[in-house]
Amino acid sequence: MHALIQAIILGILTGGVYALMASGQTLIFGIMKVVNLAQGAFVVLAAYLTYTLFVQFGVDPFASVLITTPLMFLVGMGLQWALLRPLHSDDVAQLSLLVTFALELGVEGILSFTYSTTLTNIQPSYANFSWTVFGFQVSLVRFFAFVLSLVVLAVLYLVLKRTKFGRAVRATVQNPMSAQLLGVNAQRVSALGFGLGAATAASAGSVFGMLNAFNPGSHYDLISRLLTVVVLGGLGSIGGSVVAALVMGVASSVVSAEASPIWSDFTFFIVLLLVLLLRPRGLFGARTRGAL
């Protein structure tokens, strides 16, 4: 019982970080109808940026979020402008998907060239510190990673609900055509949206580097988990992806504790297959929107 509750706590804390990554990915899908396969690579890229900032300049990993997030926001916008916007063809959706796949591999290639493929980890002085609450271990890094994710998600929520840009985004998600007719600049919304997606990946990446050992190939692992989360939550639904991330975080952590860590990977695949069989639009997905 104790182990189970411990696993659930761990799962919720980890799930929060996944929620952050997945919210960006589902946002990009909502706006552009593109499944961004490079989201995992963005996370790993941000983790390496944080690593460099920490090792070379001694910047605290949590503080470096303030650097990596705006930086990746700009990188995301640049990539959208350079690689996704010029696509004009019969099947933009398919091409965009493959472009993000290429992007993913390209990022992996650059990272393995610059940093080599050995596993690294960001180890600040407080890395192994943890509290004991009612007999359960809560690691400081995981706790603050969770808090950080909540803060960034709250900011994202406020941006989407309270700003003019946010209204344009929500309008585009609901009905791109009408949004454009009402004067929403689709190009700008797409660019900013892709930037926001990359930015969430960046803030998650900074803490990801402290929670896990990673190498340039880690993005495969990440993307398969993220895809499960966004499909489970319903593609395009940010709230859904947050719930799904917490569910999957707990599920995989419990399986990992009760069975074996190998099976925790399979939890994701099995859930994905079940969702697609039983409820292809996910928990909170709109019925006809998007690809399904």
Partner 1 sequence: MKALLARIGVVRAVVFFGVLIVIPLVTGQIGWVTNTLIFTIMYAALASSWNLVGGYAGYPSLGHAAFFGLGAYSIAIIFNGSVYGGYLPFVVLPLVAIGAALISLPIGWVAMRTRADVFAIVTITVLFIAQTLAFNFNTVTGGAQGKSVAPAPFDVSTYNWPFYYVMLALLAVAMGISLYFRKTKIGLSLATVRADEEKAHGVGVRVTAVKLIAFAVSCGLVAMVGGVWAYYVGFVYPQFAVDPLITIGMVLMTFLGGRGTLWGPVLGAFILVPAQEFFAFTFGASELYLFAYAAVFLVIMLFLPRGILPSISDRLRKKRAAANGILRDASDAASAVSAQPAAHQTGVTR
Structure tokens at 19: 């929620």
* Binding segment toward partner 1, per CB under 8 A, in 16-24, 80-88, 175-183, 247-255: 80-88
* Residue from 117, 128, 175, 178 binding partner 1 (CB under 8 A): 117
Q: Is 259 in the site for partner 1 (CB under 8 A)?
A: no
Nearer to partner 1, 58 or 86 (CB): 86
Assess 283 for contact with partner 1 (CB under 8 A).
Answer: no
Which one among 8, 71, 87, 171 touches partner 1, defined by CB under 8 A? 87
241 with 19: CB under 8 angstroms? yes
Query: How many other CB atoms are there within 10 angstroms of residue 153's CB atom?
Result: 19
Tokens 């892709």 -> residue: 194
In sequence order, which residues have a C-beta less than 8 Å from that of residue 46 and are 6 or more positions away?
Answer: 68, 72, 201, 202, 203, 204, 205, 206, 208, 209
Is residue 113 close enough to count as binding partner 1 by CB under 8 A? yes
**Phi-psi region for residue 282, left (φ > 0), alpha (ψ -120 to 50) or beta?**
left
Q: What residues have CB less than 8 Å from 264, skipping those under 6 apart?
A: 252, 253, 255, 256
Tokens for 93?
A: 């959706």
Using CB under 8 A as the binding rule, whether residue 187 contacts partner 1 is answered as no
SS3 123: coil
If DSSP codes are grouped into helix, strand and coil, which group holds residue 203?
helix
Residue of 37, 47, 49, 179 that binds partner 1 (CB under 8 A): 37
Say how far apart CA 200 and CA 286 lie, in whole Å: 23
- Binding of partner 1 at residue 273 (CB under 8 A)? yes
106 binds partner 1 (CB under 8 A): yes
Binding residue (CB under 8 A) for partner 1 from 137, 178, 182, 269: 269
45, HSE (Cβ side, Cα atoms, 13 Å): 26
Q: Is 86 in the site for partner 1 (CB under 8 A)?
A: yes
- Closest approach, Cβ 32 to partner 1, in A, equals 11
Residues 219-238 that bind partner 1 (CB under 8 A): 220, 223-224, 227-228, 231, 235
Q: What are phi and psi of 126, to 5 degrees?
A: -95, 15
User: Does 277 interact with partner 1 (rule: CB under 8 A)?
Assistant: yes
Q: Does 83 bind partner 1 (CB under 8 A)?
A: yes
* CA 102/CA 95 separation, integer angstroms: 10
Q: Which of 18, 62 has the CB closer to partner 1? A: 18
Kindly tell me which of 97 and 257 has the beta carbon lying closer to partner 1: 97
Which residues of the chain form contacts with partner 1 (CB under 8 A)?
29, 33-35, 37, 83, 86-87, 89-91, 93-95, 97-99, 101-103, 105-106, 108-110, 112-113, 117, 216, 220, 223-224, 227-228, 231, 235, 262, 265-266, 269, 272-273, 276-277, 280, 290-292
